[in-house]
A and B are shown apart, each in its own frame.
Chain A
Amino acid sequence: MNWNKIFALSLRHIYLIKGSFPRILDLIYWPTIQIFLWGFISKFFTLSSSYYNNTVGIILSAAILYDFLFRSSISYNMMFLEEIWSRNFTNLFIAPIKLSEIIASLTFTAIFRTLIGLVPAALLAIPLFDVSIFKIGMPLVFLLLTLYIFGVTLCLLVTSGLIRFGPSFENIAWASLFFLAPLGCIYYPIEILPEWLQIISKLLPLVHIFEEMRNILIYDIISYAQIFKAIFISVLYFILGVLVFYWSYNGAKNRGTLINMGE
């Protein structure tokens, strides 16, 4: 991999963010709204019943982690869609850059975009609701890493669809994460789901990540086995995502959709 080319491609997106205050505001706005909304809802439950003790911390931590997945995924998809919207797609695919370098560049730039939005929101939760995601400690790094790998995997599948079906696949790009959210057991334990759905949801890394987060915050127990299981599942999906992306790319070359792709 050529890191100069990866940087060059990232630079295109950094220029875009840097040059537009509304874009920066947009990146920060949604995670912050999310924190406010879930923070107040959880606070209401806590004040209404002792049964919901500790709810604010758990719900807000889940909201921040889920938003991390959501934002990284959306960032990746957005950057890919930007190339289609700006009709720059052909220029990109005739440049001497490998597919792996395009994937790497989008992956690294997506984390940059995600952190711009999420760090202020996570910091805001500390004084406002007395909730610090950083209380999870070292496992937080692994949980974020797993979420990120899974987020990028979802994007690879969505971008594969964009390459395969063209810009009309855009709506799926936005809907993809909402589709998995109920199965991810983000805000509730897996036991809430019917048994047959539990079997399906255990195939997703999200369940293991959010169950582990709750274990740490409620019982103060860290299970690295659970964390590594989540990482393992995410990596498996990631490999699958890369294979699907390459398959779609070759399919698009066969169908001739890479030339003149745009809105």
Chain B
Amino acid sequence: MKLEVLNLSKKFNNILAVNNISFSIEKNKTLGLLGPNGCGKTTTIGMMLGLITPSDGEVLIDNQKFEEKNRIKLLSKMNFASPYIELPKKLTVFQNLNVYAKLYGVEDVNDRINEMAENLNLKDFLNKKTGELSSGQKNRVSLAKSLINKPKLLFLDEPTASLDPDVGDFVREYLENYKLKNELTMLLASHNMTEVERLCDNIVMMKKGEIVDKGTCVEVVKKHGRNNLEEAFLKIARSKDELE
């Protein structure tokens, strides 16, 4: 799926959270949405998922405007994972995946859950309550939920936040391999620059609701005369003159 964001703005009362941003993600590509805390990333993702009504501009998915009349059709091909939203803690992992598989209209639900459990190493705790899992286990369950419908467009908000390096690497490797085998366009919001360099084809840097830079990781690093993306990020985040 191709995603296009055209002149998107969001104003909450008198605060401009997102100001006239435009970018696109070509089919099967991964875009990193970067920026310091409070720069408007979550609001932008919210608008792309139809959770927030834009004040201006539009979101096009495969050239279709994301609006109420085609919301269900488009959402069935999309999904989202974030450490800031959770699955019901009192339900077992299997029950949660079963509910969401049915909500997304997945055929052969049991096969799909078993496949996800196998690939993401969930088998040992499939019948354990989700609230009893460790952060790493919860994170993999959340990823399984976000892939249960074999989405064509996936939004990931800090997918490896609060994970130890081993589990973080497992998730990144899994996503890399998944993308090789499946048709998937991905938007990744992350503060882990190594992760972004590893997974993203292009990046968009936001600051105070505006896009301040975009391109490939190499291009952005080179443009700012730094050695890596982390340094380029720090330069952009700390510069006072970019927008002021």
- CB–CB B78/A19 < 8 A: no
Q: Is the interface of B mostly helix, strand, loop or mixed?
A: mixed
B85 and A8: CB pair below 8 A? no
Question: Once the chains bind, are A95 and B100 in contact (CB under 8 Å)?
Answer: yes
CA distance A253 to B48 in the complex (A): 12
Assess whether B43 is in contact with A256, with CB atoms less than 8 Å apart: yes
Number of interface residues of B (CB under 8 A): 39
What is the bound-complex CA distance between A2 and B103, given in angstroms? 10
B46 interface residue per 8 A CB criterion: yes
A86 touches B86 (CB 8 A): yes
* Contact between chains at B99 and A9 (CB < 8 Å): yes
- Establish whether residues A97 and B103, one from each chain, have CB atoms under 8 Å apart when the complex forms: yes
Closest to B13 in A: A255
B104→A19 contact, CB < 8 A = no
Q: B80 contacts which chain A residues (CB < 8 A)?
A: 90-91, 94
Does B38 make an interface contact (CB < 8 A)? no
Q: Which of A9, A86, A260 contacts B87 (CB 8 A)?
A: A86
Among A11, A16, A91, A256, the residue within 8 A (CB) of B85 is: A91
Mark out the residues of chain B between 59 and 109 whose CB falls within 8 Å of any chain A CB in the assembled complex: 71-73, 75-76, 78-80, 82, 84-92, 95, 98-100, 102-105
CB-nearest residue of chain B to A11: B99
Check A94/B102 contact, CB under 8 A, given A15-B91, A86-B87, A89-B85.
Answer: no
- Contacts of B71 on A, CB cut-off 8 Å? 96
Shortest CB–CB separation between residue B61 and chain A, in angstroms? 13
Interface residues of B (CB under 8 A from A): 10, 12, 17, 42-43, 45-46, 49-53, 71-73, 75-76, 78-80, 82, 84-92, 95, 98-100, 102-105, 145
Q: A90-B51, A96-B103 are in contact. List 10 more A-B contacts (CB 8 A).
A: A5-B102, A5-B103, A90-B80, A95-B103, A96-B105, A255-B12, A256-B43, A256-B51, A258-B52, A259-B49
15 pairs, A vs B, C-beta closer than 8 Å: A8-B103, A9-B99, A11-B98, A20-B90, A86-B87, A87-B84, A90-B85, A91-B87, A94-B80, A95-B75, A96-B72, A254-B52, A254-B53, A259-B51, A260-B42
